[in-house]
A and B are shown apart, each in its own frame.
Chain A
Amino acid sequence: MFKENIKMSWMNLIHNKMRSFLTMLGIVIGVASIIALITIVKGAMNGMTSEFSSFGADKITVQATGTPLKQGLIASDIQRLSEIDNVAGVSPTLTGKTTVVYNGSEKTDVFIQGKNNVYFSKTDDLIETGRGLNILDIENKNKVCLIGSNIANDLFWGEDPIGKKLLIAGVTYTVIGTLQESGSFSDASNNDAVIIPYTTSMSLLGTGYISSVDVYMSDANKSEKITSDIESVLNQAFNYKDGSFTVINMQDMLASMNKITTMLSLMLGGIASISLVVGGIGIMNMMLVSVTERTTEIGLRKALGAEPKRIQQQFLLEAVFLSLFGGTIGFLFGTLIAFAVCWLIGAAFALSVSTVILALGFSAAIGIIFGIAPARKASRLNPIDALRSV
């Protein structure tokens, strides 16, 4: 009986191809836009999230502008930061610009970064050749450096820079390593940078203050406690002066970004669902027209012994077919659009199963919700009136 009803519903839809197609269009557009929007947003946000993660999800960044009397952190502050519970290491950064010379060729305004051994042990894919800074380089204020790929190309074209002597602001440093060329936004600056021990850089750059510190956590789940510990250390360091420092917790940033992603998905999905509802109304409209058109047929079927529930099922099936079929086409279109857009903007294309289930489930539900009224109307038709309407 169910099989027969499916057959009959199908025949009716096929018979009115154009009308069925146009009715489906609303659902097609609705489902396509839900799938496309959610997938594109997720893809783009995933890209941004992983970009952020590459800054370090297990890292808390401290920016210290300090007070007029103390314009940044000093070595003892760094020491206290590293003593906080669940802190795996502390990586200060000092920056400045100066001229570097190798073998007579000169490069001005080179970005100098003072770093420590923790930076090298905590950052993946940093070193191309040679070695990173170690604890001895820091403690002994060794005059060693690592150079970015652009510096290596400009000053050491065709030569192996390792072991070569580089003049930085007139002082001789030994090149101990080169940095990997980086394409990503987060550490693109490394390509043009020269990294030296931060202890060495303090005297080189003529400042005793450290303005930026990365604190690495050994347990990222305790980021809140660690953050508040850092804040209390910094408050003591700067005598509780407002605005003397900012603490950026990557974990918090990722969480709020995830929140934004979810909200954006919900919002766009919500807007797209409106078109799905409009599509559903289209289906209801067409089904009501169809019931009116087929009044005689319904009456005849009833006269031949069709039970009301059977008539209802037949019309409901037609509505569900329309919306499910529209949903499937919409899903294919949406996926295609999402794939194309993700490819264009360079985001990772990932279709989530939940999105697919949501869209198809939603379209089936639309078919049932908006199909039930016409189907009931059909099943309640009085066979006499129906047959008389000829």
Chain B
Amino acid sequence: MTEQILNMNQITKTYYMGEEEQVVLNQINLTVHKGDFVAILGPSGSGKSTLMNMIGCLDSPTSGTYILSEQKVDELDESELAAIRNKEVGFVFQQFQLLPRLSAIQNVELPLVYAKLPEKVRKQKAQDMLIRVGLGGKLHNRPNQLSGGQQQRVAIARAMVTEPTILLADEPTGALDQKTGQQIMDLFHELHEEGKTIIMITHDVEIAKNASRIFRILDGKLQEEYVYV
């Protein structure tokens, strides 16, 4: 059994809409090991975005415990959460979320700035990472000078540059055409083979099939459905 890096136990998230109580996540148990490629599959409104925010330490649960890399996330304060997001989680968003005024390399450097690394180290790491995702020739291009697929590669490079414990992707192919989407999936496979842990949230069964473990979330309940051996 490989190292357990993520453990959610009885995670519940409840929102209150006036008098009404809405349970978005209902007693979720999730364990992820190092090197897993996990897909969380669910239609919109199933609570998958909330779960992603929870995994990404952007939101805190109403009850339950969450341990990421041996840290009890549910007990951390704002700046500790910022630090854990910086160090342990690499985010990849559907809309890429690159800063339009920064070049590719500056975008990739950003998390390293928050990690307080010296400029020289940052530049080197960001450059290496961009070369790794196949954008060695586009270091100084602005996002609007890059195609959608290239922008998502920059975003993946940005997510990977801090060498996070998990790569957390929210509909990473949602804004891309099928061919480009497949290339991004190929990149995920490569990263997976290198031993990275990937958690991918999607509504698309075909995309989910890229993963080795598939969970299905429906009305706030999570079930493991498929384990690729």
Q: Which residues of A contact B (CB under 8 A)?
A: 1, 4, 11-12, 15, 296-297, 300-310, 383-384, 387-388, 390
Contacts and interface: CB of A to CB of B under 8 A. Distances in A.
Contact of B111 (A12, A305, A383, A390): A305
B58 A383 contact: yes
Interface string B190-208: 0000000000000000000
A308 B82 contact: yes
A305 B95 contact: no
Interface string B69-92: 000000000110011011100010
B113 interface: yes
B115 interface: yes
Interface in B153-202: 158, 162
A304 B85 contact: yes
Given A15-B101, A383-B58, A306 B95 contact: no
B35 interface: no
Contacts of A306: 82, 86, 114
A383 B78 CA distance: 11
Residue among B59, B87, B97 with the highest chain A CB neighbour number at 10 A: B97
B111 A304 contact: yes
B126 to A, nearest CB: 13
A304 B79 contact: no
12 contacts: A302-B58, A304-B86, A305-B86, A305-B87, A305-B111, A307-B82, A307-B114, A308-B78, A308-B79, A383-B58, A387-B93, A390-B97
Contacts of B49: 388
Given A301-B110, A390-B95, A307 B78 contact: yes
A386 to B, nearest CB: 10
A376 B110 CA distance: 21
A304 B78 contact: no
Interface residues of B, number: 26
A303 B56 contact: yes
Nearest to A305: B86
Contacts of A308: 78-79, 82
Contacts of B158: 304
Nearest to B98: A300
A15 to B, nearest CB: 6
B73 to A, nearest CB: 14
B114 A304 contact: yes
B120 interface: no
A176 to B, nearest CB: 85
Contacts of A302: 58, 82, 85
A303 B115 contact: no
Contacts of B99: 297, 300
Contacts of B85: 302-305
B91 A303 contact: yes
Nearest to B94: A390
Nearest to B114: A305
A387 B97 contact: yes
B223 to A, nearest CB: 24
Given A296-B97, A390-B95, A305 B82 contact: yes
Nearest to A7: B113
A297 B93 CA distance: 13
Contacts of B162: 305
B151 to A, nearest CB: 13
